Chain A
């Protein structure tokens, strides 16, 4: 990312001002924006699992790779951690889970649990 002379918060204000300058209202409150921005990041993180386990955990039915959507968060997290420690044998998942922090694995387990 190119270095901006402005700190992030000020840059965001400038962006908002520029949008307003286009004659278009920025309607969301800062708080709602922040929640939406967080949601975007969570969906983005979850998308790193989708190549094998389907978009938002909706894996294609009848294939060997499991569907994550709707699995209880505790179960998913326990399995992810078991892969990471080597307690549960795997072909790939022990290698993949080592790329994610405990916080990330927890948030992923929760995210997929909420997918219908």
Chain B
């Protein structure tokens, strides 16, 4: 049973050594202190992965062992990261650590990558060598890019010239530097792929806060939104009102611009139908799909791109005992790919896994909430909110009739709520 072949001390660094090893397929929570514990392995420490790790520990009254495997040492939040690009926040404001997740909640945080998953043996192999057995595996891999959707982008991105910065971190800083270095009178162009992609309102928020930065510090500069979609995909009327009232002459929106190639020599993007566009800072978001590990493991059974799950417990429809949460799943109607939604997936999954390990019936009526707050300038925010329930006859989630909606108007009150939302959800995920 001991599949852990790498240095135990390294694995257990700073963490309780009790009940380390999962015993595949045969676990009980009913026994005394000496009883073996079920072992859950979580891959990914983002909004989904960190939340499911914490909540499995909490909801099992700290009886189920959780190991979370995440290569990054810090949690850098995508929500609020657009404000770093606009100069309204610093990286330190959106960066948290995993210390409380391990120290307070006893999640065994391992900074490594998963090289492969053996679903038959119920074990994962780590990039640094060694393998870890699991009773339940939760994969929260986020998104990866379909580089071939835009010819030349992979190379231009690797060279650090044309960035997406759609995973907050070093690229966020690099794109901010590009914006800072841009001459006044230059053009920043953001290129949006066809939906679904991570964070539906994110590109429009980014364009807005960069426009606020230009208006403040580089008033002759322009923001150009080049969108593959037929219209703004989220909070359209509210964004367009803000653009008309705040950024006339600074920000321009163009729909139905599907990027097919970039030319790094001239910093030009080419479209399937429309004319080429040259920009000083080119920010191209390629088409997205489930994170690499999900695809490699054969879990991306929706067009090879997203992962179908059983919405009662987020178990993959491709593999038993493997759950997939967050941006990587094939979503239900009205369900955005957002950090808040990933956190909601995680809680339904944690409760279902805890129930299942106890031999209890899984909650037949799970619920999800979502709130996406977008800054349209330094202080004013608009939101979209929804409440979702599982509908047994349709075996999927649906938004609850009459609930949810968007802001009446942009407001600084919602700006303060957005800051509060960020601080609270980061704590809910990590603390």
Would you call A6 an interface residue if the criterion is a C-beta within 8 Å of the partner chain's C-beta atoms? no
* Complex: chain B residue closest to A24, CB-CB: B28
Please report the total number of A residues contacting B with Cβ < 8 Å. Answer: 45
A-B contact count (CB 8 A): 158
Is A91's CB under 8 angstroms from B417's CB? yes
Is B55's CB under 8 angstroms from A47's CB? yes
CA distance A96 to B387 in the complex (A): 6
Dominant secondary structure at the B interface? mixed
CA distance A53 to B421 in the complex (A): 8
Chain B interface (Cβ within 8 Å of chain A)?
Answer: 25-28, 30-31, 35-36, 55, 58-59, 310, 312-313, 340, 343-344, 347-348, 351, 354-355, 358-363, 366-369, 371, 383, 385-389, 395, 400, 402-405, 407-408, 411, 413-414, 416-417, 419-421, 423-425, 427-428, 431
Known A51-B425, A54-B424, A60-B420: A44·B371 in contact at CB below 8 Å = no
Is B359's CB under 8 angstroms from A15's CB? yes
Known A98-B387, A98-B400: A51·B359 in contact at CB below 8 Å = no
Known A44-B351, A63-B423, A98-B400: A26·B428 in contact at CB below 8 Å = no
Is A59's CB under 8 angstroms from B424's CB? yes
Known A51-B340, A65-B421, A95-B404: A40·B28 in contact at CB below 8 Å = no
CA distance A97 to B58 in the complex (A): 26
Interface string of A11-39 (1 = CB under 8 A from B): 11001100100111111100001001100
Known A25-B30, A26-B28: A95·B362 in contact at CB below 8 Å = no
Is B310's CB under 8 angstroms from A40's CB? no
Residues of B within 8 A of A59 (CB): 420, 424
Residues of A within 8 A of B363 (CB): 40-41, 44
Q: How far is the CB of A91 from chain B (nearest CB, A)?
A: 5
Known A25-B28, A92-B385, A95-B404: A48·B359 in contact at CB below 8 Å = no
* Complex: chain B residue closest to A49, CB-CB: B369
CA distance A22 to B79 in the complex (A): 45
Q: How far is the CB of A95 from chain B (nearest CB, A)?
A: 4
Q: How far is the CB of A17 from chain B (nearest CB, A)?
A: 10
Known pairs A51-B340, A53-B424. 9 more at Cβ < 8 A? A12-B359, A24-B26, A40-B355, A44-B348, A51-B424, A52-B417, A64-B416, A65-B417, A92-B385
Residues of A within 8 A of B344 (CB): 48, 51
Residues of B within 8 A of A2 (CB): 310
Give 10 nearest A-B pairs by CB, closest first. Answer: A99-B387, A99-B403, A63-B420, A24-B28, A22-B26, A65-B420, A44-B351, A98-B403, A27-B30, A37-B360
* Complex: chain B residue closest to A62, CB-CB: B423
A-B contact pairs, 26 of them (CB 8 A): A1-B310, A22-B28, A23-B26, A24-B27, A24-B35, A25-B31, A43-B351, A44-B348, A51-B343, A52-B424, A54-B427, A55-B58, A55-B428, A59-B420, A59-B424, A60-B427, A63-B420, A64-B419, A65-B421, A91-B408, A91-B413, A91-B414, A92-B417, A97-B403, A99-B404, A100-B387
> Which of B313, B361, B368 gathers the greatest number of chain A CB atoms within 10 Å?
B361
* Complex: chain A residue closest to B402, CB-CB: A98
Chain A interface (Cβ within 8 Å of chain B)?
Answer: 1-2, 8, 11-12, 15-16, 19, 22-28, 33, 36-37, 40-41, 43-45, 47-55, 59-60, 63-65, 91-92, 95-100
Q: How far is the CB of B250 from chain A (nearest CB, A)?
A: 27
Is A91's CB under 8 angstroms from B411's CB? yes
* Complex: chain B residue closest to A15, CB-CB: B359
Q: How far is the CB of B303 from chain A (nearest CB, A)?
A: 22
* Complex: chain A residue closest to B344, CB-CB: A48
CA distance A52 to B370 in the complex (A): 10
